[in-house]
């Protein structure tokens, strides 16, 4: 699988381009302030992006959606329970002391247990509320095989978990999402958080102080 990760100040938020080496089909996940770097990757690697997939709608994860939509002309996907945050991006930014443009409208809300094809790969959508009401995990693997890479937004980090002091967040719900949804993928599942380094489900199950 093609996997490119970029992060820039001030949030150091991870944005992703993932794709198929065989077909060059790709998706962009959570384009934020690093969007120009993600678009450069798309051009350099001659990828055919089919979708912009959002793990959730906090401002740092969506500031680049407008630029990505203009450049790529592909649909934007989000969980419906986060649409209130998405529509309030300028207000979210003001809360943190900066300005952000209102992003273009969401084209599609994820269906329950939705799956997308990307060449030989498939991307399944799993609702993981807690950090926010509409958080999702995007689980990526070869069709017909069990192994999955997990793009989890701000639900789980290496050695930490998502904050639950923002509107719509709930600590107990977050822990249930991690233990009931993410842990079900098994210890070998690779985890790509919205901030910081990659980890595995096994590593977090064994050593994450918030989950022991």
The pairing of beta strand 160-161 with beta strand 121-127: unpaired
Task: Give the H/E segment covering residue 136.
Answer: strand 136-142
Indicate whether 160 belongs to any domain: yes
| Contact criterion met (CB below 8 Å) for 42 and 49 | yes
Mean pLDDT of the chain: 97
79 lies in some domain: yes
> For a pLDDT cut of 70, what percent of the chain falls above it?
100
Predicted local distance difference test score (pLDDT) of residue 58: 98
User: 87-121 pLDDT, tens per residue?
Assistant: 999 999 998 899 999 999 999 999 988 999 999 99
Residue 212 lies inside a defined structural domain of this protein: no
> What is the predicted pLDDT for the residue at 73?
98
Residue 168 tokens read as 């719509």
pLDDT of residue 139: 98
∠ CA 130-133-136, nearest 5°, is 80
**162 in a domain, yes or no?**
yes
User: pTM, whole model, 2 decimals?
Assistant: 0.97
- The reported pLDDT for the residue numbered 212 is 87
Task: Return the pLDDT at 113.
Answer: 86
Query: pLDDT at position 47, please?
Result: 98
Sheet holding 108-109, edge to edge: 2-6, 15-19, 25-29, 48-53, 76-78, 108-109
Local mean pLDDT, 10-residue blocks, the chain (212 residues): 96 97 98 98 98 98 98 98 97 92 97 94 98 98 94 98 96 98 98 98 98 92
What is the residue range of 172's domain?
2-207
pLDDT of residue 186: 98
- For the domain that residue 137 is a member of, what is the CATH number? 3.60.15.10
């Amino acid at each position: 699988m093609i996997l490119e990760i970029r992060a820039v100040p001030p949030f150091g938020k991870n944005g992703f381009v993932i794709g198929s080496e065989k077909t060059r089909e790709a998706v962009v996940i959570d384009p934020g302030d690093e969007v120009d770097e993600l678009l450069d990757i798309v051009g350099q690697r001659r990828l055919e992006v089919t979708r912009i997939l959002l793990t959730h709608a906090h401002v740092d994860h969506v500031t680049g959606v407008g630029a990505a939509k203009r450049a790529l002309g592909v649909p934007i996907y989000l969980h419906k329970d986060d649409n209130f945050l998405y529509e309030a991006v300028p207000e979210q930014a003001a809360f943190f002391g900066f300005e952000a443009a209102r992003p273009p409208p969401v084209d599609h809300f994820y269906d329950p247990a939705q799956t997308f094809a990307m060449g030989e790969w498939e991307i399944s959508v799993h609702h993981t509320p807690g950090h926010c009401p509409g958080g999702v995990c995007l689980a990526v693997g070869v069709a017909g095989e069990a192994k999955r890479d997990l793009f989890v937004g701000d639900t789980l980090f290496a050695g930490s978990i998502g904050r639950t002091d923002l509107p719509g967040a709930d600590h107990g719900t977050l822990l249930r999402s991690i233990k009931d949804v993410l842990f079900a993928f098994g210890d070998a599942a690779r985890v790509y958080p919205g901030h910081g380094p990659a980890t595995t489900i096994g590593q977090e199950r064994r050593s994450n102080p918030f989950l022991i």
